Amino acid sequence: MKFFKNKKILVTGAAGFVGTNLLQALLPLEANIRAVLHQRESFIGDPRIHFIHRDLTSKKDCQEAVADIDYIFHCAASTSGAAVIANNPLVHVTPNIIMNAQLLEAAYHAGVKKFLWIGSSTGYPPPGEEYVKEERLMDSDPYDKYFAVGWMKRYAEVLCRMYAQKLKKTMTTIVLRPTNIYGEYDDFEFATSHVFAALLRKVVERHQPIEVWGDGNDVRDLIYVGDFIQAMLTAMEKVEGYEAFNIGGGQGYCIRDLLQQMLEIDGYQDADIVCDPSKPTMIPIRLVDISKAKKQLGFVPTVDLESGIKKTMEWYRSSKILSSSLKNNKILAMNRN
């Protein structure tokens, strides 16, 4: 993608799952990259990336982060899994609202050309078994367990649209609404991880029994992180004005079937699977229609689930060595200002 060569790019959430994968994709594109870190350090120690430590709930820090930037990929978010949301539905509301609002405002006043924000399919009303389209977002309230986080996501989308359409001077804003993203550098901590990462860790580490939260019949649309990153890059290059896109794999998988596929791929033959309906779960079925992204962005997922599982398992096993290196501060020093 020649579009990104010598462009001044800001990536927030640079130590996170999506941010880390995005940085790796941007490096060979010869962009001038500034990356925002907060509490965690980056997995990447490349001198071509200018890492800065900022708190994006601070107005001043947002202004400093966006100075002289052309394009922003806003990947930073306060996020976690079903257990945290079930126990504290408001946990992600205030910090994300403040962060999103202040970064958008700072970007606008700094003259940023394009701002891409990662939304969520949690904002949709309960779709049943329907593959939900983008225009359905405001049809009714989000699924009850997602009520707080869903409305927070919707509010951020309204802000994005305002900056792109409702002001005298506008700024292009792009919203991507992913389904369940999985792959390398995902969060595998049980307290905060999503279902794919939690199950994969249990398989690789040979948990016995393997506990599944809920009855195992929930259905999720899964997309490999590499495919999602390509959607981000393409949207940033092609979109002008305001657009929102569903980005997913285009197919639903039952949690039981997903786990069975992981077991077969990894050769775990004698696993005892125990479903626990008392544990927190979220929406029973979540499917999105990705036809708009296919038509306008040419987006087509290229990594099938089996290949994605294999890639992620391979990375997870090797990541323990990487984690050890990080803890020993052999890489951390390279990421500081």
pLDDT tens-digit profile of 67-126? 999 999 999 998 766 666 667 777 779 999 999 999 999 999 999 999 999 999 999 998
Question: What pLDDT, in 10s, does the model give residues 172-201?
Answer: 999 999 999 999 999 999 888 889 999 999
**Per-residue pLDDT for 332 more than 90?**
no
CA distances 33 to 22, 30, 238, 287, Å, are 11, 9, 20, 34
Q: Give the chain's domains with CATH numbers.
A: 2-183+221-250+283-304+326-335 (3.40.50.720)
In the predicted model, what is the mean pLDDT of the chain?
Answer: 91
**Per-residue pLDDT for 325 more than 80?**
no
Q: What is the pLDDT of residue 84?
A: 66
* Nearest-angstrom CA–CA distance, 84 and 24: 30
Tokens of 212: 């599944």
Question: What pLDDT, in 10s, does the model give residues 233-247?
Answer: 999 999 999 999 999
Is the pTM higher than 0.75? yes
CA-based torsion, 146, 251, 24, 119: positive or negative: negative
**Per-residue pLDDT for 337 more than 90?**
no
Collapsing DSSP to helix, strand or coil, 189 comes out as: coil
Collapsing DSSP to helix, strand or coil, 180 comes out as: strand
Question: What pLDDT, in 10s, does the model give residues 288-318?
Answer: 999 999 999 999 999 999 999 999 999 999 9
Task: Return the half-sphere exposure (C-beta side, CA atoms, 13 A cut-off) of residue 115.
Answer: 30
Asked if residues 72 and 57 have their Cβ atoms less than 8 Å apart, the reply is no
Q: What is the pLDDT of residue 321?
A: 44
* Nearest-angstrom CA–CA distance, 191 and 233: 31
**Per-residue pLDDT for 335 more than 50?**
no
Asked if residues 311 and 303 have their Cβ atoms less than 8 Å apart, the reply is yes
The backbone torsions φ and ψ at residue 111, rounded to the nearest 5 degrees and listed phi first, read 80, 30
Other residues' Cβ atoms within 10 Å of the Cβ of residue 66: 24
Tokens of 49: 């990336």
pLDDT: which is higher, 27 or 86: 27
CA distances 191 to 78, 280, 296, Å, are 14, 12, 38
**Per-residue pLDDT for 36 more than 50?**
yes
**Per-residue pLDDT for 268 more than 50?**
yes
Strand partners, 115: 72, 173
Which of the four pLDDT bands, split at 50, 70 and 90, describes residue 329? very low
**Per-residue pLDDT for 210 more than 70?**
yes
* Nearest-angstrom CA–CA distance, 175 and 172: 10
AA identity, residue 258: L
